């Protein structure tokens, strides 16, 4: 959640005590995957009272069931973002706030749709706890259904395919030479 601080607007007369807000995007197109300035814009909303962050319903990526979530992180020092794609994992620039630095982080996972939904329910009920799962219901991935305890996501599946082919070629060449 964003930092609560006094505003120049006296909106406490108009908004309930448990007010919160978030940004929801329906799509993130592949053509916009390098627009990292969008994450920097989230920091402008961090001054809003109880700003939750954001959610991307459907990123246009190779991960069929993934969705994206934007959360805030507090750091002890300013870190430069090392971004490759908004469709995988990305950070905003850091913004100094008191003794800490605030940045927004976007990453993708199959579990984020249910996590976002249960966080909203918890926010509405007044039971939300930052950095804790609001519910274990709906938590899991399609990899778990296939019997795998680990979900592995790659930024570029073609690189992984090429790597596996090279490894297979290496071991096939080695085994033939024996």
The span from the CA of 136 to the CA of 83, in Å, is: 30
Residue 47 makes CB contacts below 8 A (sequence gap 6+) with 2, 3, 5, 7
- What pLDDT shows up at residue 174? 56
pLDDT in tens, the chain (178 residues): 545 555 555 665 677 877 888 889 888 898 998 999 989 988 888 877 788 888 988 888 767 788 899 999 999 999 998 888 888 889 999 999 899 999 999 988 888 888 899 999 998 898 988 888 898 887 777 777 777 776 666 666 777 788 788 888 888 865 554 4
Contact yes or no for 78/90 (Cβ under 8 A): no
What is the separation of C-alpha 171 from the centre of its chain, rounded to a whole number of angstroms? Answer: 37
- What pLDDT shows up at residue 7? 55
- What pLDDT shows up at residue 70? 92
**Coil, strand or helix at 129:** coil
Which region, left, alpha or beta, applies to residue 147 given φ > 0 means left and ψ of -120 to 50 means alpha? left
pTM above 0.85, yes or no: no
- The structural domains of the chain, with segments of one domain joined by +, span 11-140
């Amino acid at each position: 959640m964003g930092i609560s601080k006094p505003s120049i607007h006296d909106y406490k007369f108009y908004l309930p005590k448990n007010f919160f807000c978030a940004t929801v995007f329906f799509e993130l197109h592949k053509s916009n995957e390098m627009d990292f300035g969008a994450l920097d814009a989230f920091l402008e909303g961090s001054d809003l009272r109880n700003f939750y962050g954001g959610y991307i319903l459907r990123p246009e990526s190779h991960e069929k069931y993934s969705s994206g979530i934007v959360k805030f992180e507090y750091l002890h020092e300013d870190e430069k973002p090392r971004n490759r794609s908004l469709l995988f994992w990305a950070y905003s620039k850091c913004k100094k706030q008191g003794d800490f630095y605030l940045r927004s982080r976007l990453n993708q996972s199959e579990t984020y749709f249910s996590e976002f939904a249960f966080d909203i329910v918890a926010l509405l009920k007044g039971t939300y706890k930052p950095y804790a799962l609001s519910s274990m219901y709906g938590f899991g991935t399609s990899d778990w259904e296939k019997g795998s305890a680990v979900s592995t996501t790659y930024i570029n599946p073609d690189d992984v395919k090429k790597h596996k082919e090279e490894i297979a070629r290496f071991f096939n060449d080695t085994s033939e030479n024996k």
